[in-house]
Structures are given as structure tokens and as C-alpha cells.
Chains A and B, each alone.
Chain A
Amino acid sequence: MSIFEYNGSALIAMVGKNCFAIASDRRLGVQLQTIATDFQKIYKVHDKLFLGLSGLATDAQTLYQRLVFRHKLYQLREERDMKPETFANLVSSILYEKRFGPYFCQPVIAGLGDEDKPFICTMDSIGAKELAKDFVVAGTASESLYGACESMFKPDMEPEELFETISQALLSSVDRDCLSGWGGHVYVVTSTEIRERILKGRMD
């Protein structure tokens, strides 16, 4: 079994009209044993930038701590928040620093850039960026997430419809994956507000 599948995870980010949504499952497992069902996989970097980390949980925690540190240094030096594109480049270079002994994580970055233009992107564990206009997925449930997103996604959705779509895509996908699930965590972000919701899912 791959080290990426040790803890189990499911992550999605979707773009809507002047908004975006990012969602994850809540399971923390060790192979087939479930340790907790309230594990955080999505982190807020600032009000308009979110980071999801799938893969090995320990590396996700280490990586998050390093990224927060770098972002705080940036804020102090520049007196402003990072743009999503800049942050994606930072994540990419931090991952590539460990080219021959990588962090076993696949990050998902979602944010609002200049004039609140949504930006989403994912990466492999050594920092190769993959930009998308519609949605990105990551984690052990990624195959089923691709299918669900492919059939449910529509361009230019309003925040409420986007929430419904991303939640349905997440919940239907994790039911086909043994290593993720046990509820969901959804953020819908517009230029004025962050709406955070906890989803109840199948608890088996």
C-alpha cells in the first residue's frame, strides 16, 4: 500500500461565480483503523486563501506549519497578504526543495486573487502545479471525485448552489472509498464572507 494512502483523505476545490469552495472529508485513519472523525485537512492561510493537504497526515502537519511560518514572514516584510498565485509558487518550491525525499502530500490551493477572481490549483508531492478553471481533486478518493465532479459541475454557480454541488460530489465519492469519509468539512468563500459547514455523512 502506498504511503499516500496510509491515513486516507478526500479533497476538492471548485470555482463558482466570483467565489470558490473547498471541501474535505474528516477521517484520520491508520490504514484500515479509524483513529478520529474530526481531523482537519483544510487550513485557512488568510481570509481569501485556503490550503487543503491530502496524503500522509504527519507531513501535512509539518508542511502546514512551514507554510504558515513563511506566510507570516511575508506578511511582516510586505505588509499585505499573499496572492494565491504567489502562495502556489511558494508551496511548489517548498515541495521541490525535498525532491529526493518528498513530503508525501498532495496539496490543493484555493483562493481569491485580484478583483476577486477565483484561483484553484493542485500539485503532486514534488511541487508540479496543475491549474484548472473548474475543479481540482486530491486524496485516496480522487478517482471517484473526478467522476462526481465531472458530472455535477457547472460553470458560474452562485455560492449556495456551489455549496450544494461540492457537498454532493464529496459525499457520493467518499462512499466508494474505504479510507475516507466519516463526514465532511466545506468552506464557501466569497469576497465578503467565509461560510464554513460541517457535513454529516455515512459513519461506516
Chain B
Amino acid sequence: MECVFGLVGDGFAIVAADTSAVHSILVHKSNEDKIMVLDSHKLVAASGEPGDRVQFTEYIQKNVALYQFRNGIPLTTPAAANFTRGELATALRKNPYSVNILLAGYDKEIGPSLYFIDYIATLHKVDKGAFGYGSYFSLSIMDRHYHSGMSLEEAIGLVDKCIMEIRSRLVVAPPNFVIKIVDKDGAREYAWRESLKDVSVTSA
């Protein structure tokens, strides 16, 4: 089941998410990318109801882009996080989106940052955060091994430790993960951790 987690290192932020599209007991897909590149220097890793997740993250992405067009300056990471929280909080008392979000970003003045926003719109700036069943394992692993100012190698090592723990201890562990990174050079995909390749079905 869903595992989304992230951490802040020295000059970068990393987020990882499982890539399984699950419906009750069926796995429909194991290469579903749940981390959206919000703009050049922001990543949104989301978990929750699949429809809400896609709808809401795209809505945020387009509105952040609209802001940039109108004002000629991009939204900072804290500004984008507060905007996201605002939208989620307004929706909460009408028809709520059930999406949990980890928003990672890099700003020239602020440096890397990671924001925790849950589906009821609780916003908090964190060094490390996680959602879903995987959080029971990844949070503990990160509590044990995380320290401030981690290098990229250390951080990737920690992310791999978390993935290994989820794979070995979680009954409903997803097979594949995607890791994305954001630093001064922008937001981009870093790597995949796949234990199961999607096989193409031979046509009948």
C-alpha cells in the first residue's frame, strides 16, 4: 500500500514514492508516477484517493503557473505550500480532497525545504516526513539515521534503507519506487527502484 516519504539534505530535498496503482486487492499498474514536478524547482509527492490526487495536484500546478505568468515571479516554496494548504482547507468544509502531500522545493534565498500537508490541511515544515503504511517504517528508519546536512550519497543511502525496510517488513509492500530530487539545478527524477518490471502482454 501507499508509501510516500522525503527528507531535506545539504542543498537539496529528496522525495520518494511507491508507484503502484491499487484498487482493493488488484494491482492495476506498477509504474504510476505519484511525484509531480510542480514547477522548475518544486516537487509534489501525493498519496490518497487516485482521482483526487491527480485532480488536486494538477490544479495546484496550473495555479502556481498562472501566478508566475501574471506576476512575472515564481511562487517561493513556502508560498506554494501555504497556497496548497489554503485550497485544501477551503475544500475541507465543502467536498474534501483526500490527498496527503509532501511538497519539496528549492529557493535561492531559503535553500531546500520540505512541507508536510495532510488531507485535512495541517501544514508543517519538516526535515523528514512520510505518509501511508510505509510511514510506520520509514519514519523510524529516518529517526535513527537522519542527521542535518546529509550529503547526496548519504541521503540516497537512507532512502534505500527505507525502501528495503518497507519491502522486507510490510505485508502489502509495493514492488517499485521512484525517487526525485530538487536542488539549485532544478527538480528532476533521480532514479527508480524496481523489483518488478511491467510486462507487456503479447497480443492475442
A interface with B by C-beta (< 8 Å): 7, 28, 30, 33, 35-36, 39, 56-58, 61-62, 101
* Distance, CA A59 to CA B121, complexed state (A): 9
Given A33-B139, A35-B116, A61-B85, A28-B122 contact (CB < 8 Å):
yes
Contacts of A35 in B (CB 8 A): 116, 124, 126, 129
- CB pair B139–A61 under 8 Å, yes or no, is no
B interface SS class: mixed
- CB pair B124–A58 under 8 Å, yes or no, is no
B interface with A by C-beta (< 8 Å): 85, 89, 92-93, 116, 118, 120-124, 126, 129, 135-136, 139
Listed residue (B121, B123, B124, B126) with the most chain A CB atoms within 10 angstroms of its CB: B124
- CB pair B129–A58 under 8 Å, yes or no, is no
* Distance, CA A94 to CA B148, complexed state (A): 41
Q: How far is the CB of B86 from chain A (nearest CB, A)?
A: 8
- CB pair A101–B93 under 8 Å, yes or no, is yes
A interface SS class: mixed
Contacts of A58 in B (CB 8 A): 89, 92, 118, 120-122
Given A33-B135, A35-B116, A58-B89, A28-B121 contact (CB < 8 Å):
no
Contacts of B118 in A (CB 8 A): 30, 58
Contacts of B121 in A (CB 8 A): 58, 61-62
Residue of B nearest to A39 (CB): B124
Contacts of A61 in B (CB 8 A): 85, 89, 121-123
* Distance, CA A68 to CA B136, complexed state (A): 36
- CB pair B124–A28 under 8 Å, yes or no, is yes
Contacts of A56 in B (CB 8 A): 120
Contacts of A33 in B (CB 8 A): 135-136, 139
- CB pair B89–A36 under 8 Å, yes or no, is no
Q: How far is the CB of B98 from chain A (nearest CB, A)?
A: 14
Q: How far is the CB of B187 from chain A (nearest CB, A)?
A: 24
The 9 listed contacts between A and B (C-beta, < 8 Å) are A7-B122, A28-B122, A33-B135, A35-B116, A39-B124, A58-B89, A58-B92, A61-B121, A61-B123
Contacts of A57 in B (CB 8 A): 122
In the complex, given contacts A30-B118, A62-B121, A101-B93, what are 7 additional A-B residue pairs having Cβ atoms less than 8 angstroms apart? Answer: A33-B135, A35-B129, A36-B126, A58-B118, A58-B120, A61-B85, A61-B122
Closest 4 pairs (CB-CB, A-B):
A57-B122, A58-B122, A58-B121, A58-B120
